[in-house]
């Protein structure tokens, strides 16, 4: 059952919502930065410097929260976001490692990405 802030319980964290949340490169960036930070790191939404409006930042963080990837708590005038590392690793072992390993400058249409897709298709 979701808590009063909209965080799903560990059992409610589903693959579909998690993958949908991670489909957006800005949301993956947030998760990657939190995954690469020391465990327990909490940051304000504005500290990520996302190049979008405040309303869009709010939307991105709500999506991450409702998917179960982050936990947000109110701290005065701001909300602190932390990665639900243990919960995610419990539900989807290795997922955070994959997200952490992605480089931000990778172009989905690059030859490296195409080579990987072709390799995956050949190995099926």
pLDDT for 51-61, tens place per residue? 999 999 999 99
pLDDT, one tens digit per residue, over 5-36 is 779 999 999 999 999 999 999 999 999 999 99
Give the pLDDT band (50/70/90) at residue 106. low
pLDDT at 110 over 80: no
**Average pLDDT along the chain:** 86
Going by C-alpha positions, the residue among 82, 7, 76, 1 that lies closest to residue 41 is: 82
- Who's near 49: CB < 8 A, 6+ residues apart? none
């Amino acid at each position: 059952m979701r808590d009063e802030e909209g965080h799903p319980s560990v059992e409610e964290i589903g693959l579909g919502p998690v993958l949908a949340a991670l489909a957006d490169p800005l949301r993956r960036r947030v998760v990657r930065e939190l995954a690469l930070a020391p465990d327990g790191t909490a940051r304000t939404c504005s500290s990520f410097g996302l190049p979008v409006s405040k309303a869009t930042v709010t939307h991105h963080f709500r999506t991450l929260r409702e998917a179960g990837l982050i936990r947000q708590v109110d701290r005065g005038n701001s909300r602190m976001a932390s990665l639900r590392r243990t919960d995610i690793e419990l539900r989807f072992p290795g997922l955070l490692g994959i997200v952490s390993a992605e480089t931000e400058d990778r172009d989905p249409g690059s030859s490296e990405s195409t080579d990987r897709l072709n390799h995956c298709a050949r190995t099926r």
